[in-house]
């Protein structure tokens, strides 16, 4: 039959395991309907520690169709994660949709304000930008940049939403400074605006709209893409490019910029412009957070994630988390218990005995262990010698290791060892002890 303590330990173990499993899967909501479309593109945008939950990292992943539509309803079993070539146990992975958690994001909208955008194109671009701003969540952040021969911030992240809308309404093309298009400078400035604001949400993107190719930027396509995908940052910033091909421009530079940063390239008509802008927001809001358990060691790691046949990989340096002190504290506690048990056993080790030779207790034998053994006439003594001549607390025997001594407690009739009255005396085997009229002998 199982004992009550064993059942209690088993119950605690089950509860602990349940709590651990809950910590791993707590973030995973009840999944929605399964999306039958095939995952044809996969982007790994961010690798970050999980706030208020030690030993967990989280990946920001976009699973898309070829056209860029987000795949809905993925389960944790659809995702595999590798760290430095070692696959993470599937039981330690959880998944949640970004939209289901109502998390916030930040965006920079960069609008081409060059002369070729005059009239209906620029009007439609501003309307599409305003519509996108209107669809952002309460805690989302947005900034607006206009670019032509120079790059200027029209609305900063700190502006209230209505002030940003008003800034877009007031935005006009400056014909005196609009003969060139500093496209790559605008993209770089958009990225710098995001990287310079540490308080922004981690999920960020740039939406860049233009009708032409770059016209004299100091930055290059290679520099912009390297900055967007910086290895010194655990989060990348996708740049989505939207081209209005008014003069038949192919948009190759814009296509390359989007592809290299994990964004998308679109070439809509003016009438389709709001939809193109909205598709960008829909894609970013359709991402997933993949959580897995690992050791936070402060070292760089290569993380790879796969869904179906698609894979994405990036490097990140994990934060350092000091090892928990609980295992060490538990070890120290166990060691202290073992020491205490050893001391107790040592003290309880029999080092000799007192045999009563006379008086009412004659023939009784009292084992001697470590510590103190009191002798006297009353019942609260270890050795009770109930005679009128023996004091209530008459003497005490002290045992330290193999050394035994007896001490008189200022008794009325005194204590003698081998006939000599003593205050304190060491005892050897065979020594006879007299407590008033009661005689005992010390034996090993």
Candidates 194, 219, 220, 197; CA nearest to 205 is: 194
- pLDDT of the residue at 325: 65
**Percentage of residues in the chain having pLDDT higher than 90:** 67
Candidates 66, 109, 43, 40; CA nearest to 273 is: 109
- pLDDT of the residue at 1: 39
- pLDDT of the residue at 343: 63
Give Cα separations from 129 to 99, 169, 349, 416 (angstroms).
Answer: 21, 10, 87, 107
Candidates 202, 147, 137, 225; CA nearest to 179 is: 147
Query: What's the chain's Rg over C-alpha atoms?
Result: 41
Q: At what angle do helices 221-228 and 183-195 cross, to 10 degrees?
A: 20
Q: Which strand ranges, in their side-by-side order, compose the sheet holding 265-266? A: 151-155, 141-147, 106-112, 204-210, 239-243, 265-266
Measured in degrees and rounded to the nearest 5, phi and psi for residue 55 equal: 65, 25
Q: Indicate whether 160 pLDDT > 90.
A: yes
Environment class of 194 (CB within 10 Å of its CB; exposed 0-12, middle 13-18, buried 19+) = buried
Residue 118 and residue 200: Cα distance in Å, rounded?
33
Q: What is the mean pLDDT of residues 199-225?
A: 92
Half-sphere exposure in the Cβ direction for 419 (13 Å, CA) = 0
CA angle 34, 38, 44 (to 5 degrees): 95
Q: 10 Å Cβ neighbour count for 267?
A: 16
Residue 224 and residue 208: Cα distance in Å, rounded?
13
Lowest mean pLDDT among 35-44, 340-349, 433-442: 340-349
| Assigned token pair, 418 | 């081998």
Q: Indicate whether 26 pLDDT > 70.
A: no
pLDDT tens digit string along 353-412?
Answer: 999 999 999 999 999 987 899 999 999 999 999 999 999 999 999 998 889 999 999 999
Q: Indicate whether 34 pLDDT > 70.
A: no
Spatial neighbors of 15 by CB under 8 A, at least 6 apart, are none
Which SS3 state, helix, strand or coil, does residue 181 take? coil
Spatial neighbors of 412 by CB under 8 A, at least 6 apart, are 391, 436
* pTM metric for this prediction: 0.68
CA 69: distance to chain centroid?
A: 31
Spatial neighbors of 60 by CB under 8 A, at least 6 apart, are 44, 45, 46, 47, 48, 98, 202, 203, 235, 287, 288, 289
Contact 209, 112 (CB under 8 A): yes
The dihedral sign for the CA sequence 189, 120, 134, 156: positive
Contact 33, 72 (CB under 8 A): yes
Q: Residue 31 carries which DSSP code? A: P
Q: What is the mean pLDDT of residues 74-101?
A: 90
Residues recorded for the chain: 444
Residue 407 and residue 395: Cα distance in Å, rounded?
6
- pLDDT of the residue at 337: 84
């Amino acid at each position: 039959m199982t004992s009550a303590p064993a059942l209690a330990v088993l119950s605690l173990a089950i509860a602990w395991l349940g709590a651990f499993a809950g910590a791993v899967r707590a973030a995973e909501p009840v999944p929605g309907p399964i999306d039958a479309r095939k995952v044809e593109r996969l982007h790994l945008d961010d690798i970050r520690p999980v706030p208020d939950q030690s030993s967990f990292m989280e990946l920001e992943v976009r699973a898309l169709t070829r056209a860029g539509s987000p795949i809905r309803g993925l389960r944790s079993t659809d995702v595999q994660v590798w760290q430095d070539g070692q696959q993470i146990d599937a039981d330690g992975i959880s998944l949640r949709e970004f939209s289901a958690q109502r998390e916030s994001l930040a965006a920079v909208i960069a609008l081409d304000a060059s002369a070729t955008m005059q009239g209906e194109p620029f009007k439609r671009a501003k309307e599409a930008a305003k519509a996108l701003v209107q669809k952002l969540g309460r805690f989302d952040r947005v900034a607006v940049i206009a670019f032509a021969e120079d790059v200027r911030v029209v609305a900063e992240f700190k502006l209230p939403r209505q002030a940003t809308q008003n800034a877009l309404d007031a935005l006009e093309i400056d014909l005196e400074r609009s003969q060139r298009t500093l496209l790559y400078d605008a993209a770089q400035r958009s990225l710098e605006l995001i990287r310079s604001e540490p308080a922004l949400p981690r999920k960020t993107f740039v939406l860049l709209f233009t009708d032409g190719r770059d016209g004299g930027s100091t930055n290059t396509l290679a520099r912009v893409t390297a900055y967007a995908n910086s290895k010194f940052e655990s989060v990348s910033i996708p740049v989505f490019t939207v081209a209005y091909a008014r003069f038949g421009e192919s948009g190759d530079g814009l296509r390359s910029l989007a592809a290299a940063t994990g964004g998308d390239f679109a070439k809509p008509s003016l009438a389709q412009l709001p939809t193109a802008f909205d598709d960008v927001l829909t894609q970013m809001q359709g991402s997933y957070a993949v959580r897995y358990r690992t050791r936070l060691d402060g070292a760089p790691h290569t993380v790879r994630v796969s869904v179906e046949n698609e894979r994405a990989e990036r490097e990140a340096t994990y934060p350092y988390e000091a090892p928990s002190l609980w295992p060490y504290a538990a070890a120290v506690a166990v060691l202290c218990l073992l020491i205490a048990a050893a001391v107790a056993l040592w003290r309880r080790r029999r080092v000799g005995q007192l045999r009563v030779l006379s008086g009412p207790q004659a023939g009784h034998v009292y084992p001697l262990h470590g510590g103190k053994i009191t002798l006297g006439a009353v019942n609260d003594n270890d050795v009770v010698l109930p005679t009128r001549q023996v004091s209530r607390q008459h003497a005490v025997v002290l045992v330290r290791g193999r050394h035994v001594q007896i001490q008189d407690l200022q008794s009325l009739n005194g204590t003698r060892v081998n006939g000599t009255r003593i205050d304190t005396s060491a005892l050897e085997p065979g020594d006879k002890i007299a407590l008033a009229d009661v005689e005992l002998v010390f034996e090993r």
